[in-house]
Structure 1
Amino acid sequence: MLKHCVFVNFKPGIPQDDRLAVLAGFKAVADDVEGLVDYAYGPNLDFENKSAAYGEGFIVTFTDRAAHLQYEAHPTHVRLGKQLVSMCQGGYDGIIVFDLEC
């Protein structure tokens, strides 16, 4: 299994509804990608007060790297990825990605 973890630092002034809408949009890719087994998104609860700048995020679980590559190339993912980058503080630099093999 592969966990694709994405944490985002949205620009000030981006409404919460818009933030969650773009994150929810990535779920639409799940039906088209064989091997994408789970998608979860939401606000960062930051119980340890270590990541306040990254207010939202999502985690996608794949069966393997091949499924992850299929997800990366999916047109909806590409479109939403560009939208997400435009909404983040510093653009691409406002996004942290961890890919973990479990």
Structure 2
Amino acid sequence: MILHCVFCQFDETVSRLVREDVLKALAAFSLGLEGVLAFDWGPNRDFEHKSQGYSDGFVIRFSDRTASERYADHPMHQQLGAQLCALCVGGGDGIVVFDLEIP
């Protein structure tokens, strides 16, 4: 399984509604793809105060690397990813991605 973890540093001028709209669109798109097991998203609660301004995030659970690649190569992912980048501080620099391979 692949856990695709994405952490976003949204620009402070971006409303909660706009943030939620793009994340809901990513969830709806992702859950329609073969090999996507789950999509979880929400605001960062930063209980340990170590998030360095990353306010929101999401995790997609893929069955395998092929499903992850299918997602990454899909034109809708690229379109929604561009929208997400446009809302973050420094564009793509305001996003951190971790892909964890879980045995």
TM-score normalised by L of structure 1? 0.95
Residue of structure 1 equivalent to 2:15? 15
Distance in 1 separating the partners of 2:72 and 2:62: 12
1:29 and 1:71 in contact (8 A); partners too: no
Task: Give the SS at the match of 2:46.
Answer: coil
Distance in 1 separating the partners of 2:52 and 2:43: 11
Offset of residue 75 of structure 1: 2.2
1:67 alignment partner AA: A
CA RMSD of aligned residues (A): 1.0
Q: Does 1:93 align with 2:88?
A: no
Using the aligned pairs only, state the percent identity: 45
Which runs of at least 4 in structure 1 moved beyond 4 Å after TM superposition? Answer: none
Q: How does 1:1-102 map to 2 (within 5 A)?
A: 1-102=1-102
Paired residues in the alignment total 102
Offset of residue 77 of structure 1: 1.2
2:30 alignment partner AA: A
Runs of at least 5 residues in structure 2 that lack an aligned partner in the other structure: none
Runs of at least 5 residues in structure 1 that lack an aligned partner in the other structure: none
The CA deviation string for residues 31-61 of structure 1, in whole angstroms up to 9 with x for no partner, is 4311100000000011101114000000000
Offset of residue 84 of structure 1: 0.5
Offset of residue 73 of structure 1: 1.7
